[in-house]
Amino acid sequence: MQYELSELQKRLGITFLFVTHDQEEALAMSDMIFVMKDGEIVQKGSPIDIYDEPLNRYVADFVGESNIVEGHMVQDYRVSFAGYELDCVDGGIPSNETIDLVIRPEDLKITSPETGKFVATVDTQLFRGVHYEIILYDQVGNEWMVHSTKKAVEGSTVGLDFSRESIHVMRRKESEEDFYKRLEKYSFDQTEG
């Protein structure tokens, strides 16, 4: 049906308004997504923008699977969480501000404890056909979900690795307008530097 609707829209050349609760369907079929909560638009943007740069915890959870943990901004392009301090690509947030961080399960890679950014213990895993869904816990009790094509050994201690671009910082109670202004500014600052 998704292919039929896409073909129909292309053939007729008209705008479609498609309402769905299926996040994968929304990402696959949309040029523009409007995420709503309690009858209000929370965030609007392209499917890639909504997925890669969610405004808040609600949007991150609504569009795809997410690992969301509390952290603090150390300074521009540096965060701390779970007892670790790491580089990120977010800026324009005051130092020591409490924030939420998102890292998508497909962005996490299981490594040896020595080569990971931090260590975690494998709790459970389920085979999902295309990948294993592996649940781990770090040293302070944060739950982490990893999508991997390789099995893990339950009870083992492993490293978790990811790129700094995989960390998305969300300010609590930031408006969509302020979020996009901040995003535009630090994206521009990084291309200049």
d(C-alpha 133, C-alpha 131), whole Å: 6
Q: Examine residue 21 and state whether it is found in any structural domain, yes or no.
A: yes
Contacts of 83 (CB under 8 A, 6+ apart): 118, 138, 139, 140
* Prediction pTM value: 0.84
User: What Cα–Cα distance (Å) separates residue 175 from each residue in 42, 92, 162, 190?
Assistant: 9, 14, 28, 22
In a domain, 18, yes or no: yes
For residue 13, tell me if it sits in a domain.
yes
> Can you give the pLDDT at residue 83?
87
Query: What residues make up the domain containing 45?
Result: 1-64
The pLDDT profile of the chain, 193 residues, written as one tens digit per residue, is 777 887 888 888 888 888 888 888 888 888 899 999 999 999 999 999 999 999 999 999 888 899 999 999 999 999 999 889 999 999 999 999 999 999 999 999 999 999 999 999 999 999 999 999 999 999 999 999 999 999 999 999 999 999 999 999 999 988 888 888 887 776 655 555 5
**DSSP states of 2-33:** HHHHHHHHHHHT-------S-HHHHHHH-SSE
User: Rounded distance, CA 134 to CA 156, Å?
Assistant: 12
Query: For residues 61, 67, 69 and 71, what is the CA-based torsion angle, rounded to 10 degrees?
Result: -110
Residue 97 included in any domain: no
Decide: 130 and 110 in contact? Cβ < 8 Å: no
Residue with token string 């392009």: 77
* Domains identified in the chain, total number: 1
Six token digits for residue 98: 């409490």
pLDDT at residue number 161: 97
Give the β-pairing of 143-148 and 132-138.
Answer: antiparallel
**E strands along the chain, which residues?**
33-37, 40-45, 67-75, 78-81, 84-87, 98-103, 109-111, 118-127, 132-138, 143-148, 157-161, 168-171
Q: Is residue 16 part of a domain?
A: yes
Please check whether residue 12 lies inside any domain of the structure: yes
Residue 125 falls inside a structural domain: no
Q: Is residue 49 part of a domain?
A: yes
